[in-house]
Structure 1
Amino acid sequence: MTEQDAILRERPTPPSQSKQKGSYPYYAALIVVFQAMFGAFLVLYRRSRHPLEQVSALDVALLSIATLRLSKTISEDEITKVVRDPVVEETETYRQPEGEGLRFSLGRLLLCPTCIGTWVAALLTYSLHLFPRYTRPFLAMMSASGISQCGDALLSLVYADRDAVKEKRGS
């Protein structure tokens, strides 16, 4: 048995259609929660009597990079496995949502960097408006980490190409 066969044998079957369809009410509930968070933000912002916070192009850039970094951290990094563990089954070869209903829906949300990224972007934006003095340094840190990660990925590609060229010349 090859290694690929072993991996395929270990891989669980994908969630059934009925399990996914059974999660639709919970997806709807998550959408309602997301919209309620926005409504709560608007109420809090209005009551805080802050002058309307100007969001600069730099703020948008920092929000974008920080959102990318945080969403990848939440959905993929080992350090945040503790967050995913109650709703996600993870092995060395696969990751999938566990359970049914709300648990399954939360697992799907946490495994999708784009999906959880929407929530992260919303929370960071709310924080930027409500607590700009404290949020901007956090955005800067997460953005620096995100740019560093992009640099690492780029260097990995360069080194892989370099090694492939060396191997080709040596053969």
Structure 2
Amino acid sequence: MLTFLQFFIFSLAVFRLTRLIVYDKITQFIRNPFHYEIEEVDEDGNIETYIEIKGKGLRAWIGELLSCYWCMGIWCSVFLLGLWYMWPTAGNFLLIILAIAGLAGIIEAIVTRLIDK
């Protein structure tokens, strides 16, 4: 069973890994075979980006998975928990890195909102 601290670290790590896969530009190469990105300019001149799933069957299923934060979060949880059980040293290392990055991202979002007010 996980302690509260381990659960908190896992939660932050899953949050960060999920955002990394679903949203971050650095992992766009993973999503490109499964998504079209469509940019449109709205009436105020803001650029809106939409995705369209490519293909059918397995390709479309993977595209849906990569575009769904909730779905990807489950699979990231399975991956990180499995890694932690199978290879604890590497699992702990990756969990701590992702958890620190996740918390830093949350802090940055809060500070940005406070500054922009």
Higher relative contact order (CA 8 A, sep 6+): 2
| Higher Cα Rg, which structure | 1
Deviation of 1:158 (Å): 0.4
Is the 8 Å Cα contact of residues 84 and 110 (structure 1) preserved in structure 2? yes
Is 1:136–2:92 an aligned residue pair? yes
Is the 8 Å Cα contact of residues 35 and 51 (structure 2) preserved in structure 1? yes
Residue identity in the other structure for 2:61: S
- TM-score where L is the length of structure 1: 0.60
Q: For the residues of structure 1 that align with 2:86 and 2:57, how far apart are their CA atoms?
A: 33
Q: Give the unaligned 5+ runs of structure 1.
A: 1-53, 162-171
The structure with more helix, counted as a fraction of residues: 1
Counterpart selection for 2:73 from 117, 120, 138:
117
Is 1:64–2:11 an aligned residue pair? yes
Give 3-state SS (helix, strand or coil) of 1:86's partner: coil
Counterpart selection for 1:153 from 95, 102, 109:
109
Partner of 2:56: 100
Q: For the residues of structure 2 that align with 1:120 and 1:152, how far apart are their CA atoms?
A: 23
- TM-score where L is the length of structure 2: 0.86
Residue identity in the other structure for 1:122: V
Q: Give the unaligned 5+ runs of structure 2.
A: 40-48
RMSD of aligned residue pairs (Cα, Å): 1.2
Give 3-state SS (helix, strand or coil) of 1:110's partner: helix
Partner of 1:86: 33
The 5-angstrom pairing of residues 11-50 of structure 1 reads none
Residue identity in the other structure for 1:65: L
Is the 8 Å Cα contact of residues 31 and 63 (structure 2) preserved in structure 1? yes
Instruction: Give every structure 1 segment of 4 or more consecutive aligned residues whose post-TM-superposition deviation is greater than 3 Å.
Output: none
Residue identity in the other structure for 2:33: P
Q: For the residues of structure 1 that align with 2:90 and 2:3, how far apart are their CA atoms?
A: 16
Aligned pairs, how many?
A: 108
Give 3-state SS (helix, strand or coil) of 2:2's partner: coil
The structure with more strand, counted as a fraction of residues: 2
Deviation of 1:96 (Å): 2.2
